[in-house]
Amino acid sequence: MNRSPRAPGLPPVLVALAALVALAAATLVVGAVLEGRAGPVRDAVRAVTTATALGGLDEGAPGEADGRIGDREVTIDDDVPAVTRLDPELRAAVREASRAAEAEGIEVHLTSGWRSEAYQQSLLDEAVATYGSREEASRWVASPATSAHVTGDAVDVGPTDAAYWFAEHGARLGLCQVYGNEIWHYELRATTDGTCPPPLPDGAAAG
Ligand SMILES: [Zn+2]
Q: How far is the centre of ligand 1, averaged over its atoms, from the C-alpha of 90 (Å)?
A: 13
Full-prediction pTM beyond 0.75? Answer: no
Find the 187 Cα to ligand 1 centroid distance in Å.
Answer: 9
CA 11 from chain center: how many Å?
A: 52
Residue among 180, 129, 179, 130 at smallest CA distance from 154: 179
Give residue 28's pLDDT band: very low, low, confident or very high (50, 70, 90). very low
Task: Using the mean position of ligand 1's atoms as its centre, give its distance from the Cα of residue 156 in Å.
Answer: 5
64-115 residue pLDDT tens: 999 999 888 999 999 999 999 999 999 999 999 999 999 999 999 999 999 9
DSSP the chain: --PPPPPP---HHHHHHHHHHHHHHHHHHHHHHHHH--SHHHHHHHHHHHHHHTT---TTS--GGGT--TTS-B-TT--SHHHHTS-HHHHHHHHHHHHHHHHTT---EEEE----HHHHHHHHHHHHHHHSSHHHHTTT---TTT-TTTTT--EEEESHHHHHHHHHHGGGGTEEE-BTT-TTEEEE---TTS-PPPPBSSGGGG-
Distance (angstroms) between ligand 1 centre and the Cα of 112 equals: 7
55 CA to middle of ligand 1, Å? 22
Quote the ligand 1 centre to 186 CA distance (angstroms).
Answer: 7
184 CA → ligand 1 middle, Å: 7
Ligand 1 centroid–CA 94 distance in Å is: 14
Instruction: Note the pLDDT of residue 67.
Output: 98
Residues 2-14: pLDDT tens digits? 454 454 555 555 4
- 119 CA distance to ligand 1 centroid (A)? 13
The answer to whether the CB of 142 falls within 8 A of the CB of 148 is yes
